[in-house]
Amino acid sequence: MVRAAFAAAAAALCGFGVFADEVVLTNGDRLTGHAVALDAEALSFQTDYAGELRIVRGSIESIQTDEPRAWLDVSGGENAGPLNIVRTQQGDPPPEGAVPLSAVSAFAEDHAALDPPPAEPAPKHWSGTVNLGGTYRTGNTDKVDVVLSTEWKRTAETNRLTLRAGWAYGASNDILNTRKLSADGRWEYDLTDRIYLYTLGGAEKDDGRQLDLRANAALGLGYQFWDEETRKLSIDLGAEFTHEEWAPFTPWAREGAKASSRRAAFDRGTNLLVDLASGRLVFDRDYRRALLSAYRDFRDPLRAYDTRTENYLTARAGTNYEQQIFERGKITDAAVLSANLEDTGEFRFKNELAFTTPLSEQLSLKIALLSEYDSMAENFGVEAWDHTLTTGLAYSF
């Protein structure tokens, strides 16, 4: 019994030593325990008889701690030491050695506990890449090729928006052989976990293929077969409206056609003047009309060549594949087939195969092969197939 009484007394003394802080409430109650922490709303107070209590600031008259605490004043200054905090009326000074409750922003057992948790980074809605590639050669042959493109993506919970633009330029011995511009946008909306609705629109100009303008808009449905971290695959089908304007010349043939047309106009005008001077023709309305036509052809040598326009509906099928290889490399392949619904012999095919490997956190090496087939191109004396292999750098943001 003596041993039991001694143990109980020792426990009581130990408990008193641990819970040595005191809180006085506005109703006069006194609580003994351990002041764990104070924040802007309440005091966490540990007791041996009721566990941890949460006491709102408005109910606190005073707090006194036996051990030092790290505390912040309302201006953000850091302090440390045993606390004697009392509630004071506005304008009244606190008792000597005490700190007004209104002046203490927070306290805890150490400064680390006072530091706010790091704020979570804001969700990144927009991301994108800028790709730049090219070649330069001088000597027996002077050659310049430049390819620049950018892609912007905005991802939300149930939809995605992708915007792209590209520019390509090429010249050999000061003769332009490539000038291409393109821009398009695509929006996808998830109907289920795997099925999505998509709509897109775009425009392009390719002087090398005599394509002065192609504008298209499409609507359809897609299915996501794989959507994993290491691989992705989706296939979509839809209907597309296409408007095309075909130029009569390629860039390298345009200057020759201009010179030939000007020579013909000059010869016609010279012959008209000679015939007028020799008396074989008279200066009448027909003569004036013929002379004016020669003048106009000389001034605008390509005015007699018309741009061919096409409008038609197509069935559109597309695939997008992505596969991670090695540790950080990635292969992507995007293919699109558009078949003319009004003429089954006309179709377009476009495929871009690319390999990307990172060089740093934001910079990557990208090798891409773009292959395009257009059956309409054969009607204008240019190759139906067009292949472009580029090596360049991709900057991600």
- CATH code for position 376: 2.40.128.130
Question: Residues 180, 294: one domain?
Answer: no
Q: Determine if residue 6 is left, alpha or beta; phi over 0 gives left, psi from -120 to 50 gives alpha, anything else beta.
A: alpha
The HSE-up count of residue 359 (CA atoms within 13 Å, CB side) is 9
Tokens 């009309």 map to which residue?
289
* Residue 92 and residue 140 share a domain: no
Residues 237 and 258 both lie in one domain = no
Portion of the chain with pLDDT greater than 70, in percent: 89
- Give yes or no for a contact between 81 and 69, defined as CB atoms under 8 angstroms apart: yes
Q: Is there a domain that residue 263 lies in?
A: yes
Domain identity same for 157 and 295: no
Assigned domain for 120 exists: no
More confident site: 213 or 115: 213
Hey, what amino acid is at 101? L
Single residue among 88, 114, 140 that ends a domain in this structure: 114
Q: Are residues 130 and 206 located together in one domain of the fold?
A: yes
The answer to whether position 119 is within a domain reads no
Q: What is the pLDDT of residue 344?
A: 77
User: Structurally, how many domains does the chain consist of?
Assistant: 3
136 found inside a domain: yes
Q: Is residue 34 part of a domain?
A: yes
> First vs last Cα of the chain: how many Å apart?
76
Q: Tell me the per-residue pLDDT of 9-39, one tens digit each, with 9 for 90 and over.
A: 444 444 444 558 999 999 999 999 999 999 8
Give me the amino acid identity at 121: P
Q: Are residues 276 and 241 in the same domain?
A: no
Based on the fold, state whether residues 315 and 294 are members of the same structural domain: no
> What residues make up the domain containing 61?
2-114
| Interior angle at CA 133, CA 131 and CA 137, nearest 5 | 170
Model confidence band, residue 108 (pLDDT cutoffs 50, 70, 90): confident
Question: 235, 269, 299 — which closes off a domain?
Answer: 299
- Span 278-311, pLDDT tens digits: 888 888 888 888 888 888 888 887 776 777 888 9
* Nearest CA-CA partner of 245 in 286, 204, 192: 204
Residue 378 and residue 277 in one domain = no
If asked whether residues 389 and 322 sit together in one domain, one would say: yes
Give yes or no for a contact between 393 and 363, defined as CB atoms under 8 angstroms apart. Answer: yes
Q: pLDDT tens digits for 168-197?
A: 888 777 766 678 899 999 999 999 999 999
Mean pLDDT, all residues of the chain: 85
The distance from CA 380 to its chain's CA centroid, rounded to whole angstroms, is 38
Residue 159 CA to its chain's centroid (Å) = 14
Same domain assignment for residues 161 and 287:
no
Q: Which helix (H) or strand (E) holds 234?
A: strand 231-246
Percent of the chain with pLDDT over 90: 41
pLDDT higher than 80, residue 130: yes
Q: What is the mean pLDDT of residues 319-345?
A: 91
Where does a domain end: 79, 114, 149?
114
222 and 173 fall within a common domain: yes
Q: Beta strands 60-64 and 21-25: pairing type?
A: antiparallel
281 within some domain: yes
Element (H, E) at 15: helix 2-18
Q: Is residue 315 part of a domain?
A: yes
**Whether 149 and 186 share a structural domain:** yes
Residue 189 lies in a domain: yes
183 by Cβ neighbours in 10 Å (0-12 / 13-18 / 19+) ranks as middle
Q: Provide φ and ψ at 75, rounded to 5°.
A: -90, 0
Entry pTM: 0.62
